[in-house]
């Protein structure tokens, strides 16, 4: 923390049941809201706090990513996301997240070489794929195969060894595109493509996904640039559900490959990383601009569970800065591919316009999020919808592993173990089977 507890500001709580006062330290970060340190609360009051969904709870100290949701600001290690998307490459951002500084030319080259050298997976791992049905969702495959890495790379699962932690991080970032592309190839019934060391990270992923052994595959530079940008925009997002899952899994001392598999599982849900797939399905279901009022009406109806996918965010109460970049990239990609009339884009833009002017969305501060435009770009690039969340997971792996490393290296780290408000049966006597009604 930035100041010792004895020099901190304080926060006084009064227990109205007893009149007892408890003085709690208030901790200050380098920016952002102050944090009330409640670690001694239970010992001093016998009470836990109650915050399902962690809407007011900080779970850790971190120096990786900062979000100001009201202002729509996202910084990685102090650098604005739009600056990174405009000027950096994804491997540079990976290096930054892991090491807290942008790489110089030599560090950049060395890091890219490390990623290249780790990009192949153990040959035996390729056989895992045939255990899956051909119609398996690629997220199911990604989750399973990533978890299985712990069965292959025993020399990087000792979490107490900093060298092994680093190697595990490099392996995960390097291998996840290979594993993801193989999931796609398996579903398409095409042969796996081995990674190519002459290509950049994004180019190589496109090559492994869309290339075949039958003919040379030429990577379109506009598309690889867009892919790289999409990876950057998804690289990290502080303590979201999947990252918190990775940290919680890792807090017990589980190996990093297993922790990342846990993160992938958490990301899959439609409220989180699964939203990009859900957005595209929703736009397709809307089908035409004239159906938008009906869909907006449904989204506002309290008795209807339907939500506008790609809108709203727990932290952003302003336009998601990633969505701004994504919107621009979307237009660039469609122009490059010569797609002049993309009905889904027309629907998306009209939906965005209507929602941004609608009282319900304005009052609840529901703005388009990162997933709103990403699906349209990915579809135009040729990815099936089922791969969208896989791409999110691929890019987020660096964020997860950086956060996992930070947690393991934090001297205050403890196993994560929330408490509960118990509302079940209190103790009662056992009823023998014959006496149960």
| Minimum CB distance to ligand CMC smaller for 254 or for 309 | 309
Residue 299 touching ligand CMC (CB under 6 A): yes
Nearest-angstrom CA–CA distance, 29 and 78: 13
Q: Which is nearer to ligand CMC, 167 or 393 (CB)?
A: 393
Q: How far apart are CA 141 and CA 356, in angstroms?
A: 37
Closest among 304, 314, 295 to 352, alpha carbons compared? 295
Total residues belonging to the chain: 437
272 scored as a contact of ligand CMC (CB under 6 A): yes
- Are the beta carbons of 408 and 252 closer than 8 angstroms? no
Which of 259, 275 has the CB closer to ligand CMC? 275
Is 26 or 73 the residue whose CB approaches ligand CMC more closely? 73
Segment interacting with ligand CMC (CB under 6 A) among 166-174, 188-196, 250-258, 272-280: 272-280
What the block records as the tokens of 202 is 């994004």
Is 371 a binding residue for ligand CMC by CB under 6 A? The answer is yes
Residue 364 in contact with ligand CMC, rule: CB under 6 A: yes
For 27, the token pair is 């901790």
* Interface region with ligand CMC, contact rule CB under 6 A, candidates 117-125, 245-253, 254-262, 265-273: 265-273
In the list 313, 327, 379, 405, the residue contacting ligand CMC (rule: CB under 6 A) is 313
Determine the Cα–Cα distance for residues 422 and 376; give it in Å rounded to an integer. Answer: 45
Rg (CA), the chain: 24
Figure out which of the listed residues 309, 351, 407, 408 binds ligand CMC, where binding follows CB under 6 A: 309
Question: Would you count residue 81 as binding ligand CMC (CB under 6 A)?
Answer: no
Q: Which of 196, 314, 317, 331 binds ligand CMC (CB under 6 A)?
A: 314
Q: Does 263 bind ligand CMC (CB under 6 A)?
A: no
Which one, 125 or 308, has the nearer CB to ligand CMC? Answer: 308
* Beta strand segments in 271-378, E: none
Asked if 312 interacts with ligand CMC (CB under 6 A), we say yes
Active-site residue, from 118, 234, 272, 313: 313
- Report, in Å, the least distance between residue 431 CB and ligand CMC: 40
Q: Which is nearer to ligand CMC, 41 or 69 (CB)?
A: 69
Query: Is residue 311 involved in binding ligand CMC (CB under 6 A)?
Result: yes
Q: Residue 223 has which token pair? A: 């598309």
Which two tokens mark 30?
Answer: 């380098």
Active-site residue, 371 included: yes
Position 280 contacts ligand CMC (CB under 6 A)? no
Does residue 308 belong to the site contacting ligand CMC (CB under 6 A)?
yes
Q: Which of 366, 377, 393, 408 binds ligand CMC (CB under 6 A)?
A: 366
Contacts of 129 (CB under 8 A, 6+ apart): 141, 145, 182, 183, 186, 192
What residue number has its CB nearest to ligand CMC?
312
CA dihedral 420, 421, 422, 423 (to 10 degrees): -150
- The contact pattern for ligand CMC, residues 232-251, with x = CB under 6 A and - = no contact, is -----x--x-----------
**Maximum distance among all Cα pairs of the chain, rounded to whole angstroms:** 79
Q: Which of 147, 225, 227 is nearest to 179 (CA)?
A: 147
What burial class does residue 127 get, using C-beta atoms within 10 Å of its C-beta: 0-12 exposed, 13-18 middle, 19+ buried?
A: exposed
Does residue 321 belong to the site contacting ligand CMC (CB under 6 A)? no
Single residue of 108, 122, 196, 307 touching ligand CMC by CB under 6 A: 307
**Per the structure block, which two tokens stand in for 87?**
């000027």
Q: Is 313 a catalytic residue?
A: yes
Q: CA–CA separation, 371 vs 8, rounded Å?
A: 39
CB of residue 369 vs ligand CMC: minimum separation in angstroms?
4
- DSSP string of 251-290, one letter each residue: HTT--HHHHHHHHHHHHTSTTTTTHHHHHHHHHHHH-SGG
Count of Cβ atoms closer than 10 Å to residue 301 Cβ = 11
Contact flag: residue 275 with ligand CMC (CB under 6 A)? yes
Contact positions vs ligand CMC (CB under 6 A)? 237, 240, 271-273, 275, 299, 307-314, 364, 366, 369-371
Catalytic residues: 313, 371
């Amino acid at each position: 923390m930035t100041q010792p507890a004895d020099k901190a500001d304080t926060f006084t709580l009064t227990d109205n049941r007893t009149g007892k006062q408890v003085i709690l330290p208030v901790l200050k970060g380098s920016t952002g809201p102050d944090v009330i340190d409640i670690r001694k609360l239970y010992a001093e009051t016998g009470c836990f706090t109650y915050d399902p969904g962690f809407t007011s709870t900080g779970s850790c100290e971190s120096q990786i990513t900062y979000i100001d949701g009201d202002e729509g600001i996202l910084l990685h290690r102090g650098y604005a996301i739009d600056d990174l998307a405009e000027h950096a490459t994804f491997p540079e951002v990976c290096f930054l997240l892991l090491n807290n500084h942008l790489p110089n030319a030599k560090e950049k080259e060395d890091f890219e070489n490390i990623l290249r050298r780790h990009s192949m997976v153990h040959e035996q791992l390729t056989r895992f794929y045939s255990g899956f049905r051909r119609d398996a969702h690629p997220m199911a495959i990604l989750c399973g195969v990533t978890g299985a890495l712990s069965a292959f790379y025993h020399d990087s699962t000792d979490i107490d060894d900093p060298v092994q932690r680093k190697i595990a991080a490099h392996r995960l970032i390097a291998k996840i595109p290979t594993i993801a592309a193989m999931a796609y190839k398996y579903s398409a019934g095409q042969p796996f493509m081995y990674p190519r060391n002459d290509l950049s990270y994004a180019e190589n992923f496109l090559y492994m996904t869309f290339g075949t052994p039958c003919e040379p595959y030429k990577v379109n530079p506009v598309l690889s640039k867009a892919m790289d940008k999409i990876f950057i925009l998804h690289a990290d997002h502080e303590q979201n559900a999947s990252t918190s899952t990775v940290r919680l899994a890792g807090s017990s001392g589980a190996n990093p490959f297993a922790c990342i598999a846990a993160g992938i599982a958490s990301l899959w849900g439609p409220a989180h990383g699964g939203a990009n797939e859900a957005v595209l399905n929703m736009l397709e279901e809307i089908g035409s601009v004239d159906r938008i009022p009906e869909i907006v009406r449904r989204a506002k109806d309290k008795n209807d569970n339907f939500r506008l996918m790609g809108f709203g965010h727990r932290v952003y109460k302003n336009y998601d800065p990633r969505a701004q970049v994504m919107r621009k990239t979307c237009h660039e990609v469609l122009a490059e591919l010569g797609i002049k009339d993309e009905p889904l884009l027309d629907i998306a833009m009209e939906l965005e316009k209507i929602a941004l002017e609608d009282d319900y969305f304005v009052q609840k501060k529901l703005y388009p999020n990162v997933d709103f435009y990403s699906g349209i770009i990915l579809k135009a690039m040729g990815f099936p919808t089922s791969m969208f969340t896989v791409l999110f997971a691929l890019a987020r792996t660096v964020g997860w592993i950086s956060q996992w490393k930070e947690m393991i290296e934090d001297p205050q780290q403890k196993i994560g173990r929330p408490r509960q408000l118990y509302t079940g049966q209190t103790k009662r006597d056992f009823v023998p089977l014959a006496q149960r009604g």
